[in-house]
Structure 1
């Protein structure tokens, strides 16, 4: 054991994963959560984003599964849907619908509240982990450069190790400044993303034309005159319990706040299928709108002497634009990385936290660069990472066509598809993918064939019509 008591501040997904990482190395792990935690899959005040769709990327699935064996099976048993997006999602990108084809990538679809309920169940199976609810952390105690405990609920708790998992609004940086440490550098980029969601119950019998389970509508590439709603990123996202989350989001545009406006705006997106699908379903919630979506990285790794015995996971250190579905997976990856460092540590010496922060920096750089690659192209974006105007214009001009080139090539080239799936799931950086000679050859070959009109897999099906159900996989064609 590395100590008697470790404390995790925050009982959301990041904090629960951290508890799983700490449990093998401390006599007791105490999770302090300010909310009362529900027994079932229910919303709570501290996680307002639970009302919106959440992708659990494959890297996150594996990380959580390593921390909590059986997690994925339990999530599916509780109602999560194990689907193959390339076959089970109708995907509208570029000029029209993409073709269906089989791929190696699968995903588990569920609500955020179900993910957290299953995680809580797994944590409660650990005999040395205690979750204290309704407790607000009020500060930390330090001595000789080390964090030695926390103040919570009017009490002092001695701690040999502390994990901050308090999310975007974490006050831990201010506590450290009050204790004598300098404020960490903070890198930010807010692309003014707003998204709005409403939950629906699916009909008991799906229409015959609904071969799809998930509906995705990407922003239009059209640079001419078009309705503002064509700039929306739209999801009709399946979750447990025969329900879906209808979600619309945008960069820098106003989004509907009322049920009436939600239905009206939905009729003006790029395909009538979205509104028509909602009209066949029964509303199960009000409209939920979120604006707190900026990218924010607190660079504790750049402190000359970071506090010993304190680390950070999840949004408390690096929060992302939620459009890119990186939050839970990045938090789980940090927790798994923490477990690996604890397993190698003979003791918690002064070098432990700097070593961990350096490794975590490399982990977080992959999703951070992906978020920057898209958000830096928006004129409305603000923050320390806002590029010069010439570079912003270049990114805006290049990122959309480059993304569509990769998506198009992935439809026809299994190697490009494999690497693109790795990038999407945070298993590979975009830079590593684009330095791969085989991937570059596949992109070039697709570009030449597209110029000659020699597509292997069709695309651009009429967005006003139903998406084609045909399986265009090579095996199906044979």
Structure 2
């Protein structure tokens, strides 16, 4: 059902493109306003500085984008995206050493942010009633009845190369990201400023792109595609680099992104420091992998990583004709890979609400905000569960010191318990994968009786030294290539005996 003539999306990044897909079936015309000149291919651009770092597309995001743009995942893989099973294709260093390699319940599509956006742009270009205006700057909103029960947004002001322009709009979606000025424009028009929840754990991360060697030139021990090094659990003296979260992240085109990040620590800013710092992380494998590759970029550093939730859902009289998706409403610590997936889920939620809408009034906005609040609460609580434990964290959501210390003391061992139990019990693995992919809340997982039983069984067996799957392999050695999946070793041994 058509709900109006014109809908306008502010911003043409991943969130805005997903929003355009959600709106296309409900308005005669959808106009996307983007400041940058968008490249035809997979290229970096000024408006997305984080495209130079790794991006996970979580399963919830894959499904949401696929619902908005059928065939998206197939197109992403055809363009070079890698469909992998992390538990089999990733070397994972957690706790005291390498984890075992075994089949799990989770698969992921790996690719760069620029590839994801290029495929999304191609999908949007296939929508006959969607127009993307590039090289324009949104400068304001036109409104009526600011702050009153009948108030709403009626149009958008923007500047193009030809001068100032205005377009009347039946509906507007803000996808301008962390730096969105829409809240200021609403306040100037008479609406109260929304409450803003913040927590900045001072995360900094730095990345460099590499060309991988051809498969035939890789060492025999290099079975893995993705390398993950978690921060050390050691509370004693150790190099600062042991506190880093490290990824050697595979992307399209036989390339990888080497990335190091930390909470509250200084990170290397140039190539020489990057290479030297890599040699001091918890395992020599990271630097050794970089040494076998050819660098194809400079070092890229990002500090804008705080969690920020603008609580438009708490306005008594939200403006009609305006909603928010992506970082413009809720931005997360990028370490947790929740941004694109949460934005896509919000866009899909918007499409579902539009399909049931009779009028696009303030009641529609309030219903959407309430549903979006429930959706965003899941990734928000996951981000808080870790970031609130850091002494360097600042913001409205910083805990009293005694609670912060409690979170700091409990979160690491609790995470290791879940990861360990997931190695040995399928039910824990399945639900942990759902939590990681934003398909289930952490609270729901921890209230599941079968999950709790698995955690208890694992803890008891661990105390007795009776592990089903080995772990803690020497981090100074190569990660084990052995497949420890149930039945895999027996099959291998039977085949070897038959020979």
Tell me, yes or no, whether TM beats 0.5. Answer: yes
CA deviation map 1:413-437 (0-9, x unaligned): 0000000000000000000000001
Alignment of 1:325-364 (within 5 A): 325-364=337-376
Q: Deviations over 1:55-92 (max 9, x none)?
A: 00000000000000000000000000000000000000
The residue aligned with 2:255 is 243
Q: Does 1:134 align with 2:104?
A: no
Please state how far the C-alpha of 1:380 moved relative to its aligned partner.
0.1
Paired residues in the alignment total 478
- 1:15-36 CA-to-partner distances (Å, cap 9, x unmatched) read 0000000000000000000000
Please tell me the root mean square deviation across aligned C-alpha atoms, in Å: 0.5
Q: What corresponds to 2:194 in structure 1? A: 184
C-alpha distance in 1 between matches for 2:105 and 2:240:
35
Shift of residue 349 of structure 1? 2.8
Q: Distance in 2 between matches of 1:315 and 1:188?
A: 13
Aligned to 2:52: 51
Q: SS of the counterpart of 2:213?
A: coil
Query: Aligned pair 1:203/2:190, yes or no?
Result: no
Aligned to 1:370, the other structure's residue is in SS state helix
Runs of 4+ in 1 over 4 A off after TM superposition: none
Name structure 2 gaps, 5 residues minimum.
Answer: 146-150, 491-499
User: 1:346 offset after TM fit, Å?
Assistant: 2.0
- CA distance in 2 between partners of 1:103 and 1:94 (Å): 19
CA distance in 1, matches of 2:55, 2:286: 19
Q: Distance in 2 between matches of 1:303 and 1:138?
A: 23
TM-score using structure 1 length: 1.00
In the TM superposition, residue 143 of structure 1 has moved relative to its aligned partner by 1.2
Take 2:171 and 2:213, find their aligned partners in 1: how far apart are those partners? 50
Deviation sequence 1:385-413 (CA, Å, 0-9, x none)? 00000000000000000000000000000
Q: How does 1:263-274 map to 2 (within 5 A)?
A: 263-274=275-286
Cα separation, 1, equivalents of 2:154 and 2:442: 40
Distance 1:350 1:325 in 2: 32
Where do residues 319-398 of structure 1 align in structure 2 (5 Å cutoff)?
Answer: 319-398=331-410
Structure 1: tracts of 5 or more residues without a match: none
How do 1:51-200 and structure 2 match up within 5 A?
51-144=52-145, 145-153=151-159, 154-200=164-210
TM-aligned CA deviation for residue 207 of structure 1:
1.6
| Distance in structure 1 (CA, Å) of the matches to 2:464 and 2:96 | 18
Q: Which residue of 1 aligns with 2:440?
A: 428
CA contact (8 A) 2:241 2:277 kept: yes
**Distance between the aligned counterparts of 1:78 and 1:158, measured in 2?**
37
Q: Which moved more, 1:205-214 or 1:225-234?
A: 205-214
Shift of 1:320: 0.1
Deviation for aligned residue 1:208: 1.1
Work out whether residues 154 and 171 of structure 2, in 8 Å CA contact, stay in contact via their aligned partners in 1. Answer: yes
